[in-house]
Amino acid sequence: MSANVQRLAPAATSEAKTAAEVFALPMPAARPGSWSKTLTSIAANVVPPLVVIALILVIWQILCATPGASLPAPSQVWADAGELIVSPFFDYGQGDIGLGLRVLTSLQRVAIGFGIAALVGVTVGAVIGQSIWAMRGLDPIFQILRTVPPLAWLPLSLAAFMDSAPSAIFVIFITSVWPVIINTAVGVRNIPQDYRNVARILQLNQVEFFFKIMIPAAAPYIFTGLRIGVGLSWLAIVAAEMLTGGVGIGFFIWDAWNSSRLSDIIVALVYIGVVGFILDRLVAAIGAFVTRGTSAN
């Protein structure tokens, strides 16, 4: 009897394994890799703008390739200003430099002027935002000043500084500081009361409250103002350089106009647009990193 049981045991074990194999669940299908999702996302964001740009170039070529056209066609722009496109950092001396170097010169002024505007704007906005009466009294003045065009400030800055470089930096500052102040003040006013109550319970002083409560809570508003301000800074420096001279991108456009180099002007406008877009995306990326976990812009 014991021997029969022993002989039947392997057969039973084999049948159990067979049953287990029959009812085994199928393996789930492999999911596409993250690289394919990344490529799909890049294509969805890159292909549509490229198609639109190609259509614009085709229409532009058709409209401006006819004899007597007032503007050069894309093919003519490439023939006249191809070196500015393919070699943006050439330096032949005596101010004859590529558009890349001119853009860097303008960006240096923007960095100084906008940096001062950001520091002053956040500080002043945070102070004003603490008082409803200060908001009501100063907001109309800020709204009036922010509508003054950049070039309207240039004569006063030239009279005050007697030099083109600090005058251009002042124009950048005075143009871009207002949206930073206004948005920061609004953000501070909208800090939830619960945050202020927590600061009282923890007995935070004004400096600790500023850095630990106020700035993080108002960060989405602050970076909205900074994005507006950096765009205005780039607009201001181009306009100021047209009148103050130097080697910046704004002076290049004015000099090209005086020399009737329309192709150079078109290439410079593309540079200005691309750099302005990059500046906006850069500030937006920094804002998204800093404000992660808080309310979105």
3-state secondary structure of 95: coil
Give this prediction's pTM: 0.78
What are the boundaries of each domain within the chain? 94-290
Q: What is the average pLDDT value for the chain, to the nearest integer?
A: 84
DSSP code of residue 31: P
Task: State mean pLDDT over 282-289.
Answer: 90
Both tokens of 258, joined, read 């005086």
**Using one digit for the tens of pLDDT, what is the confidence trace for 105-147?**
999 999 999 999 999 999 999 889 888 888 888 889 998 998 9
CA distance 111 to 89: 20
Contact 181, 142 (CB under 8 A): yes
Task: State mean pLDDT over 98-109.
Answer: 91
pLDDT of residue 91: 84
Q: Using CB atoms within 10 Å of the CB of residue 285, give its burial: 0 to 12 exposed, 13 to 18 middle, 19+ buried.
A: exposed
Grade residue 29 by pLDDT with cuts at 50, 70 and 90. Answer: low
Query: What does the chain come to in residues?
Result: 297
How many helices (H) does the chain have, and how many strands (E)?
A: 12, 0
Check whether 52 has a pLDDT greater than 60. yes
Helix (H) / strand (E) containing 183: helix 164-189
pLDDT of residue 2: 47
CA distance 255 to 260: 9
Of 181, 236, 45, give the one whose Cα is nearest residue 244: 236
User: Domain 94-290: what homologous superfamily?
Assistant: MetI-like (1.10.3720.10)
Task: Say how far residue 155 (Cα) sits from the centre of its chain.
Answer: 30
pLDDT of residue 27: 54
DSSP code of residue 72: -
Task: State mean pLDDT over 156-182.
Answer: 92
**Using one digit for the tens of pLDDT, what is the confidence trace for 16-27?**
444 445 445 555
Grade residue 5 by pLDDT with cuts at 50, 70 and 90. Answer: very low
CA distance 256 to 251: 8
